[in-house]
Structure 1
Amino acid sequence: MDTNSKFLHTIANPRITTNGGLLHLDMQPTTSSSSDSAAEGTGDAKWASRLLRDCAAAMSDKDSAKIHHLLWMLNELASPYGDTDQKLAAYFLQALFCKATDSGRRCYKTLISVTERSHSFDSARKLILKFQEVSPWTTFGHVASNGATLEALEGEPSLHVIDISNTLCTQWPTLLEALATRTDDTPRLRLTVVAATAAAKSAMKEIAPRMEKFARLMGVPFELTVIAGLNRLGDLTKDDLAVREGEAVAVNCVGALRRVDVEERNRVIETIKSLNPKVVTIVEEEADFSSNREDFVKCFEECLRFHTVYFEMLEESFAPTSNEKLMLERECARSIVRVLACDDKVEDCDSERREKGRQWSERLREAGFTAAAHSDDVVDDVRALLKRYRAGWSLLLPGEDGIYLAWKEEPVVWASVWKPS
Structure 2
Amino acid sequence: MDHHQQYFSPPPHHHDSVSANTWPSVLLMEAAHAVAEKNHHRLKHLMWLLNELSSPYGDTNQKLSAYFLQSLFTCIMDSGDRCYQILSSAADKMLSFESTRNMELKFQEVSPWTTFGHVACNGAIMEAFNGKTKLHIIDVSTTYCTQWPTFMDAIATGTDQTPHLRLTTVIAAKFCGAGVQKVMREISHRMEKFARLMGVPFKLNVLHHSGDLSELNMKRLDIQDDEALAINLNGTFRSVCSHRRDHLLSMFHGLNPNILTIVEEEADLNMGSFNGFEFLKGFQECLRWFRVYFEALDESFPTTSSQRLMLERSAGRAVMNLVACSPEESVERRETAAKWSSRLHACGFSPVRCRDEVSDDVVALLRRYREGWSTNTAETVAGIFLRWKETPVVWASAWKPI
Structure 1 length normalisation: TM-score?
A: 0.87
State the alpha-carbon separation in 1 of the partners of residues 251 and 222 from structure 2: 12
Find the counterpart in structure 2 of residue 243 from structure 1.
223
Residues 200/365 of structure 1: CA separation in 2 closer, same or farther (3 Å cut): farther
State the alpha-carbon separation in 1 of the partners of residues 271 and 31 from structure 2: 22
State the alpha-carbon separation in 2 of the partners of residues 65 and 147 from structure 1: 56
State the alpha-carbon separation in 1 of the partners of residues 350 and 43 from structure 2: 48
State the alpha-carbon separation in 2 of the partners of residues 69 and 353 from structure 1: 30
Alignment counterpart, residue 167 of structure 2, candidates 191, 206, 224 = 191
State the alpha-carbon separation in 2 of the partners of residues 281 and 415 from structure 1: 7
Q: Give yes or no for contact 1:155–1:184 (8 Å, CA) kept in 2.
A: no
How many angstroms does 1:41 deviate by?
6.7
Computing the radius of gyration over CA atoms, which structure comes out larger, 1 or 2? Answer: 1
- 2:128 equivalent to 1:152: yes
How many angstroms does 1:229 deviate by?
4.8
Residues 101/257 of structure 1: CA separation in 2 closer, same or farther (3 Å cut): same
Q: Any idea what SS the aligned residue of 1:212 has?
A: helix
> What one-letter code is carried by the residue in structure 1 that aligns with 2:204?
L
Find the counterpart in structure 1 of residue 6 from structure 2.
none
- Structure 2, unpaired ranges of 5+: 1-12
Please list the CA deviations of residues 203-241 of structure 1 after superposition, one character each: whole Å capped at 9, or x if unmatched: 221111111111111111111111125433122132121
Residues 255/71 of structure 1: CA separation in 2 closer, same or farther (3 Å cut): same
Find the counterpart in structure 1 of residue 4 from structure 2.
none
How many angstroms does 1:49 deviate by?
0.8
Q: Give yes or no for contact 1:238–1:274 (8 Å, CA) kept in 2.
A: no
Paired residues for 1:77-156 under 5 Å = 77-156=53-132
Q: Any idea what SS the aligned residue of 1:54 has?
A: helix
How many angstroms does 1:250 deviate by?
0.5
Alignment counterpart, residue 351 of structure 1, candidates 331, 336, 347 = 331
Find the counterpart in structure 2 of residue 417 from structure 1.
398
- 2:196 equivalent to 1:213: no
Q: Any idea what SS the aligned residue of 1:194 has?
A: strand
Aligned residues: 382
Q: Any idea what SS the aligned residue of 1:191 has?
A: strand
- 2:372 equivalent to 1:389: no
State the alpha-carbon separation in 1 of the partners of residues 57 and 190 from structure 2: 36
> What one-letter code is carried by the residue in structure 1 that aligns with 2:72?
L
Please list the CA deviations of residues 374-395 of structure 1 after superposition, one character each: whole Å capped at 9, or x if unmatched: 1000000000000100001010
> What one-letter code is carried by the residue in structure 2 that aligns with 1:147?
G
Find the counterpart in structure 2 of residue 314 from structure 1.
297
How many angstroms does 1:339 deviate by?
0.4
> What one-letter code is carried by the residue in structure 1 that aligns with 2:373?
W
State the alpha-carbon separation in 2 of the partners of residues 105 and 366 from structure 1: 32
- 2:365 equivalent to 1:376: no
Q: Any idea what SS the aligned residue of 1:277 has?
A: coil
Please list the CA deviations of residues 336-369 of structure 1 after superposition, one character each: whole Å capped at 9, or x if unmatched: 01000010233xxx61111111111111111100
State the alpha-carbon separation in 2 of the partners of residues 168 and 74 from structure 1: 36
> What one-letter code is carried by the residue in structure 1 that aligns with 2:352?
A
State the alpha-carbon separation in 1 of the partners of residues 21 and 282 from structure 2: 23
Find the counterpart in structure 1 of residue 206 from structure 2.
226
- 2:234 equivalent to 1:265: no
> What one-letter code is carried by the residue in structure 1 that aligns with 2:366?
L
- Asked which structure has the greater RCO (Cα within 8 Å, sep 6+), the reply is 2
> What one-letter code is carried by the residue in structure 1 that aligns with 2:354?
H
Structure 2 length normalisation: TM-score?
A: 0.91
